Amino acid sequence: MKIENKIILLSIALGILVWVIDSLVDSLVFYEGSIIASVPHHELYMRSLIAVCLIGLGLVCSKLIGQHNKTEQMLSNQLSFEQQLLDNIPVPIFLKNEKYIYTGCNKSFENFLSMDRQDIIGKSTFDIAPAKLAAVYHEKDTELMNNPGVQIYEFEVKGKNNNSNRQVIFHKATLEESDGNVGGLIGVILDITERKKAEKEKDNVISKLERLTAKLEKTLEEVETLRGIIPICSICKNIRDDKGFWSKVEHYIQKHSLAGFTHGICPDCAGKHYPEFYSEQKTNKPS
């Protein structure tokens, strides 16, 4: 049975009880055993009025309690909806009151810290975070409370089951009460650990490319290429340099490139300059 109906029944029973008790008192003390017959009409009227007032009071209380329960149920549904809304947001969100105590969070925040909600709500940052990190969190929260608005900064978070800290961006904002005073804050955490790793790898690749580029440029500076028209003697085949000096082909190429030379004798020159040796070699050559 609803509590409203219980209150109505209780008020009716109370009204009847008051009527009976008053009648018994009057009968035994004033009217020599008569409950109604010898009782003046104004006494009956007063009894009836008291009973009706009690019943009416019970109806009013029942109505007020019913409205209160309805409002309470609507508020509960609203809070449940808001919590479901927060839980469906894929980034960690938390709420703190003006005393820097956690008053709410979503499922992503629980997972991020590897903690259950009941272990977070009602606690401060010093209760759930390492001392060094908690000191910075509290300092930043105090700074935001003293200067209401929005606060964004990069820092670290360490989950309960994590061996290393996660690189994050905190995005916080103050919450105002109906009187305009700061009543707390709401914060969102963006995990940028993977982005930081990618940036570090990118920087390493860029640094490596810069070193390779510098090395290549240095190598290219040391390399001189042969291009344009080269003046060469049509008889001895010597080459004239930019200063007018003549030098052998191999010396000129070695000076102006990274090429090297190894010397040998072609068959034509061998026959021309060493006919005896070349003819002997040619005779002993197997057919």
pLDDT digits (tens, 9 = 90+) for 66-94: 788 888 888 888 888 888 888 899 999 99
Question: Is pLDDT at 99 greater than 90 in this prediction?
Answer: yes
- pTM greater than 0.75: no
Q: How far apart, in whole angstroms, are the C-alpha atoms of residue 62 and residue 108?
A: 42
Q: What is the mean pLDDT of the chain?
A: 82
Buried-exposed string 47-58: b where 16+ CB fall within 10 A, e elsewhere: beeebeebbeeb
- d(Cα 186, Cα 35) in Å, to the nearest integer? 70
The 3-state DSSP composition of the chain as helix, strand, coil percent (nearest 5) reads: 55, 15, 30
Residue 254 has pLDDT above 70, yes or no: yes
Do the Cβ atoms of 39 and 31 come closer than 8 Å? Answer: yes
* pLDDT mean over 191-220: 89
Q: In this structure, what token pair is assigned to residue 20?
A: 């009976």
The pLDDT of 204-208, averaged and rounded, is: 93
Q: How many Cα atoms sit within 13 Å of 175 on the Cβ side?
A: 14
**Local structure of residue 90 (DSSP, 8 states):** S
